[in-house]
Structure 1
Amino acid sequence: MRMGFRLVLDAEDGIEVVGEAGDGQVAIEQVAALAPDVVLMDVRMPRMNGIEATSALVEAAPDVRVLILTTFDLDEYAFAALRAGASGFLLKDARPAELAEAIRTVAAGDAVVAPRVTRRMLELFADRLPDGQVDTPEDPRLAALTAREREVLVAIAEGLSNAEIASRLYLSEATVKTHVAHVLDKLGVRDRVQAVVVAFQTGLVAP
């Protein structure tokens, strides 16, 4: 599987495979040594699984983006990896062009999980969150948001694109992009995926 990914990615302009790992522990060691921009992370691996490795990587190397690879699109473990700090997930049978585009998107600081897919995952697994806790609507993470930014966060959690949010709130798309950037910054999250997780955790949006 890794050889196949390497062959595909090495053929892409602007993408270089700098290392490989057979388990999560080796992945952490490789990231420390090689400082890649993006890590393609499997979920089920020996010694240390992808969830544990993702959590450790996000903490130790916050500039490294993690893209989870999974065999099916609503993998509970992939969902847990998103909560651990991954920037998205991708099916293992994705076409080469999709794989390359996903890597470029994540490297640019965005997420590759469509908001609607994220919301569906949260609906399915909200009653099985790893920590068993759901925060109250008065969660302090929401305190810094303006009323408009809360509206934008709700719309993101509902799966709306920037264009759809602009239409709903009677704003320009450029203004929506600015609001989204402020929401991410104030929540202390890296992308829309993490923002949606916060929206559900805080009770701002309920499954």
Structure 2
Amino acid sequence: MRVLLVEDDQFHASYMEDVLAETLPEVTEIFHAMNGEEAEHEARALTIDAVVMDLRMSRRNGIDAARTLWMERPETRILFWSNYADEAYLRGIATIVPEDSAYGYLLKTAPRDRLKLALRAVLVEGQIMVDREIHRLQRRAASPRNTLDDSEFAVLLDLAIGLQDRIIAERRGMSLRTVQNRLLSLYEKLGVDDEASDAMPLNKRVRALNRALVTRTLNIETLETAQRDFDRWQSTRKRA
């Protein structure tokens, strides 16, 4: 098995190489890329069976790199390994993973034994594994009452990159009324309505973005990816 390790921190890279060598005798070669851009080039040049991917990197984040790798080789098994338990990352992964593909999401603070289990489960056995600590942290930050559904999250992404309601409606295949209803719902779930008052009027769109960033429902990498997705959609729209 040939594994590509995508990690921009040398300490973490060395640690992961040691754990891979110790845990998986199936691994014959380990290749190293410093960021998502290098990862895409390495994966094209080499026959890679599995990937361990950091999420937050300069020059192309882990979500964007994984999307490209899966588009070109959907059978690739990827374990995401990150310092961050952002809801935005988990949602981003869920939207790009091909059907029946194996992936995992583990925090870098996980004990060595749990890391070993995740590596074997995802890279060798082809299972889906999300660290229970990630779910625990997300449950602490959000309750079912204020968790955004997929359509609300899609509208939030478009709001965050500055789109008007009519463009959101066109892009998402919704009516204008549906978009406006989704906005009202996400304002409520993000707590924007609770902060507004006659004495202190707020721009709800801006405040919703602020709350989404504070609660890590969105992060910078997710916004960058959303902008690139919109640019691709806009190019297709212009050609149509």
TM-score by length of 1: 0.54
Of the three residues 36, 60, 63, the one matched with 1:24 is 36
In structure 2, the residue matched to 1:94 is: 110
Paired AA for residue 22 in structure 1: M
In structure 1, the residue matched to 2:217 is: none
In structure 1, the residue matched to 2:88 is: 76
In structure 2, the residue matched to 1:6 is: 17
Q: Does 1:60 align with 2:72?
A: yes
Which deviates further from its counterpart, 33-42 or 20-29?
Answer: 33-42
Q: Matched residue of 1:40: which SS? A: strand
Q: 1:41: Cα distance to partner?
A: 1.1
In structure 1, the residue matched to 2:210 is: none
Judge conservation of contact 1:70–1:78 (CA < 8 Å) in 2.
Answer: no
Q: Matched residue of 1:11: which SS? A: helix
Cα distance, 1:20–1:134 mapped onto 2, change above 3 Å: farther
Q: 1:122: Cα distance to partner?
A: 11
Cα distance, 1:13–1:81 mapped onto 2, change above 3 Å: closer
CA distance in 2: counterparts of 1:59 and 1:29, whole angstroms: 14
Q: In percent, how many aligned pairs have the same letter?
A: 27
| Higher relative contact order (CA closer than 8 Å, sequence separation 6+) | 1
Q: 1:15: Cα distance to partner?
A: 4.7
Of the three residues 142, 149, 153, the one matched with 1:128 is 153
Q: Matched residue of 2:79: which SS? A: strand
Q: 1:20: Cα distance to partner?
A: 1.0
Q: Matched residue of 1:88: which SS? A: strand
CA distance in 1: counterparts of 2:22 and 2:46, whole angstroms: 20
In structure 1, the residue matched to 2:50 is: 38
In structure 1, the residue matched to 2:127 is: 110
Cα distance, 1:56–1:11 mapped onto 2, change above 3 Å: same
Judge conservation of contact 2:23–2:120 (CA < 8 Å) in 1.
Answer: no
CA distance in 2: counterparts of 1:57 and 1:46, whole angstroms: 17
Q: 1:73: Cα distance to partner?
A: 2.9
Cα distance, 1:98–1:37 mapped onto 2, change above 3 Å: farther
What residue ranges of structure 2 are gaps of 5+ in the alignment? 1-11, 159-167, 175-240
Judge conservation of contact 1:82–1:88 (CA < 8 Å) in 2.
Answer: no
TM-score by length of 2: 0.48
User: Which digits, 9 at most, give the CA deviation of each residue in 1:41-95, with x for residues without a partner?
Assistant: 1111111111110110111011111111221334422431232217221101122
Q: 1:114: Cα distance to partner?
A: 6.3
Q: Matched residue of 2:52: which SS? A: strand
Higher normalized strand content (fraction of residues): 2
Judge conservation of contact 2:24–2:120 (CA < 8 Å) in 1.
Answer: no
Judge conservation of contact 2:106–2:131 (CA < 8 Å) in 1.
Answer: no
CA distance in 1: counterparts of 2:173 and 2:23, whole angstroms: 42
User: Which digits, 9 at most, give the CA deviation of each residue in 1:130-176, with x for residues without a partner?
Assistant: 577599xxxxxxxxxxxxxxxxxxxxxxxxxxxxxxxxxxxxxxxxx
Paired AA for residue 92 in structure 1: K
CA distance in 2: counterparts of 1:78 and 1:70, whole angstroms: 11
CA distance in 2: counterparts of 1:122 and 1:32, whole angstroms: 41
Flag the structure with larger Rg.
Answer: 2
Paired AA for residue 6 in structure 1: E
